Structure 1
């Protein structure tokens, strides 16, 4: 994957930095009002190395807020939802986290969050603007250049739903929750008894979600090892996109094709698929990229159908990011305020300008090469069933949705709604089936090639 090369270089740089900087200072004590990350029963002696935080990020999706914590090694954790004030507490081992004790800005359902040491380890606390529940909480094992990642998905609920019981995930309850870990179902800790006399609404009533520590045996072919494909139906909501000569909207066509492509990809059993939108809603361009990155996408496909001033131009084309646009994006990512999440799995905020620029450039160039490789393979297969743009169907441009530095990305112009023939075909279910089928073959070819390159 494109992240792998950057990660190798980053490890070398960070090791050098650690050697020259000396021994890290002891963790600071938690402030009286801070809420932090606590150790679970993982016996660590005073001299044992603590798990280190490599990266932490929040992602906002239409139906949830996702938190991802990438760490040096997997560990047990426990999630508790509480009220008055609404918050989510995550008990963890004592972590080596450079930002321990600092309040971090939130996104989506999370107003702010903070990690700090406790008597038993550490605690991570998310302050939420209202009642939430934990949709999923799981550990992704190391793969594709990433270290283990703790993923927590939060969704908003009503107070009544919150009070009825907030348990949403149990460790080992579903095989896919903690892939590559064979573990018996854990016991769910009972909520604390209500105080006497019991009030009508119990404050700080909690449901605990324990997850067992990883075991050495791995399950064969876990579901999360399947490549994640994120499909982006262009436009939506207040943004209709192009309007066809027959009156159809681009936003409706892109969503119909995206759903058809998702159905065909999932039918193979080889992929996990997510849409950036599955209804008629407006999503900002950068948010579409963020959805793909937060999903740890292996491939991002944005679907469009343009319109131009003439009706005699027709055919499908595929865009990848241009070199000029990639240079501008690299410059923006290298800015100090953007370094914390410039490359998935690496926090470059502590690196100097030269190191950050080199790592971002390496990751971005590798990603662009993968994007171009997929574009060529997709055009080869699509061209057998769908008319391509006669002049140079593989094009390059600076579209914002192509700028993820660590996710191979393409923008597919499926045809021109200014062409009566293209507009008619794109509104045809049979044509959309053929297009999705040929795209699926191109995706198969790409991941077959990618698998052959891996050791």
Structure 2
């Protein structure tokens, strides 16, 4: 029997039938194209719910299309990792409020076309049942996870049997490492803190997530620095994606950075505290506030479900030794120059140069600072952090500080 396409092309077919055939084939082609485009788009998680107690807990997440998924476990602390294709999470925050076996639930992008749900457990747990079911209307799907409490021996068996190390599939970035255009340029890595599954702090008034605040400022700072003669600047992340702390260091070193500036905007319980702070690395924290902040920032990888052993060996070796003394001295010099540039121009916290053991500052050969722009827990700071005019002003002050630092470093042979 001739194909439909051949039948439509026969001379015996009347012109009006040929027109109908043309319309039909155009419809098929359009439908196929739309299907392909939809398949390339991220999944949409549009609803979720959780129920259970300290013995058993069920989690249900609804998607617009059938999701592929995999489940893994991480210890110290116990976490259940659910890896997904790239997913847009349109969930109400209260829909996955932790309860039952879980005391924290986070979800978001991991970069490289993947997303993740991280279920932090109160103790050893096992997902005893996991399946995807179509909804009755056939237009959406439910991912159902049933978890139950188990003993440590059983959990240890799960860790051994899964043959999973949290490797780079879930944490890699799909961006190639760009080559610095001018080999003689002074190169600056600007690191927008947090991203993807790791949202960072949440604004008190606007509920803005820190990851968006840091990226907006980092983009402004890079644009400002690029206007400096002989300077090249780049972002460690240029989108809402997760990068592990070691990856941020790696990207800076691979691109030959002369400076590394990590941008943050944290929250504090004391809502009256406000102003910018500049941190450098030290094996001993300068004060309780610095120690507390470093502890929280160093949890970024844990929040995303990345076990320490998944870090590349090159970076893991770096983490063993504290930053070389010479590099640390340059970092302190940069921090002091930044504070000097800020004084009298923008608000600073008391004792604005502080230090603690920030893992993101541990490149052995790149002078590094962590800039706390202000606190999202303070309504006045939050307002400034969201103000493009304020961001432009602070970026200009930072660029001036970098210029003076560079002049001093060159004069001293650095």
TM-score (norm 2): 0.49
More helix by share: 2
* Larger Rg computed on CA atoms: 2
TM-score (norm 1): 0.44
